[in-house]
Amino acid sequence: MSEKPFTIPDDVATIEPTDLYDRLDAGESVGVLDTRAPNSVDDWRIDGDSVDFANVPYYDFLDGASESSLDELPDARPIYTVCAKGESSKFVADVLTQAGVDDVVAVEDGMQGWETVLDSTELSADTDATVVQFHRPSSGCLSYLVVDGEEALVVDPLYAFAEEYVSAARDYGAELVAAVDTHVHADHISGVRRLAEEYGVRAVVPAAAEERGIEYETAYDTVADGEAIHVGTVSVEAIHTPGHTSGMTSYLVDEAVLLTGDGLFVESVARPDLEGGDEGAPDAAGQLYDTLHDRILSLPDETLVAPGHASDAAETAGDGSYSDALGDIAASMPALDRDRDSFVEFVLADMPPRPDNYEDIIAANLGHQRVDGDEAAELERGPNNCAATTNAMTGQ
């Protein structure tokens, strides 16, 4: 392997990814200078309403800070430099500092470090249970801890954060007793089996999803439509909600919070092509329409919808979570008022590219192949594309 074309200094100011997230979450105005090649930045970057973003690749700084490269810097300060692994961004931060640019800080471990950030927020919900939403900002993935008394259940856990869910349950004075997925995921590696194998947590999969050919080496239980998983004294009812996938299952917590997985988001609806491809997408989109109108929108308007993903277009609720009342979502999303044929046409018209490596991720989540932590990180790296539209459907 050839040597790096630059020297990484020892005295560059740095920031931990979690600290940067806290600043963004607080709405602080910052500059982000991404030093990766442009084709690595287009779909996956650190962004937000308070971010002044620029992309100038590190190789533009190999001969120092030119006038043209300085002109492209973000105006906001501080400037946080970020790359893939936290190396070239330190080099660039040093070059800029030597050129007299004030307040330049490198993000430790780059985008790989950004992947390790997991935020949590308690939902403001009318339930005896405590429902905690976990948000992974690097991908928009959302997972949930449901706690009542001394028991806890995790829904849609991520492989990378298995230990964090166990620890979070303990922080609430509970034991994590079960882990369940809403469906066979196509954009990230599920943590259900890891929690079962390494922490003795009961693994549960939707009965409808089992029909896709699940082959786990570890024992698991199934939950069918209308059945419930009990956490302490609280009931978590499974509701089969196909459309995104044939096995997609939502979970109604204490008749108050609907964990919709990838069926309904606060800003969009599910894409229907990740299981059956382009050929099966029209039928799946029709099935999604039926699910939304017959199984989800028939619930009380005050039901709190807590989805499995949040895109950059999603807005947070007053409690800081990505959630909203079902009635408010329905009122803000005109596409839900379309007739079936028009809805199908609309959903199929603007689907973004499929998630990277989605076929391998599906195979791993079915148990057809095993992956370790490094392989899981590599497979799921990048943004989620599980919504049917690139932009928010609210207001359209």
Q: Which residues are catalytic?
A: 83
Phi, psi of 259 (to 5 degrees): -85, 105
HSE, side-chain direction, 13 A CA sphere, residue 94: 15
The residue count for the chain: 396
Query: For residues 264 and 261, what is the distance between their CA atoms, to the nearest angstrom?
Result: 7
Q: Do residues 291 and 242 lie in contact, with contact meaning Cβ atoms separated by under 8 Å?
A: yes
Non-local CB neighbours of 330 within 8 Å, separated by 6+ positions? 297, 301, 336
State whether the Cα torsion 198-200-206-211 is positive or negative: positive
Sheet holding 221-223, edge to edge: 119-122, 130-136, 141-148, 151-155, 175-180, 202-206, 221-223
